[in-house]
Structure 1
Amino acid sequence: DTERCWNISVPDGFRIQLYFSHFDLEPSYQCQYDSVKVEADRELLALFCGKEETDTETVPAQQVITSPRTSLSVR
């Protein structure tokens, strides 16, 4: 298991749009194993895991995440 974190920031007046063209993680109940967290100022914007949408797992599909401010963290 590896943990990575990307901190993305842009100049004032800009926002970040994040989307995934491919997404395939090991399925786990309520994302307790492999997952991707998207946060802005420590506020959780999205939590993704698995490879198909289920009642306990969410995948990004065609969803675009837009930062509310000028920075975004992806873990």
Structure 2
Amino acid sequence: MNDKTYRSIVKPISWRTVGTIDTVLISWLVIGDLKWAMSIGGVELFTKMGLYFVHERTWNKIKFGKEDQHPIDYHI
């Protein structure tokens, strides 16, 4: 079963929201400057969303670990 393209778009948005909040908080703790932390988080948000999209679409094409689904699955 393949994921639809819109699923591969929504997944990185939701994940990067969580990840970016984490990055901003860690950057703020390490640097101590919220403005810089937000800048780092903003750049990281878009670069990692793009990378995640490419990663997901690539893995969607790889058959490793996938099972073929049959249209009718009989259980006896």
The structure with the largest helix share of the pair is: 2
Q: Same fold (TM over 0.5)?
A: no
When normalised by structure 2's length, the TM-score is: 0.24
The structure with the largest strand share of the pair is: 1
When normalised by structure 1's length, the TM-score is: 0.24
Which structure has more relative contact order (CA 8 Å, sep 6+)? It is 1
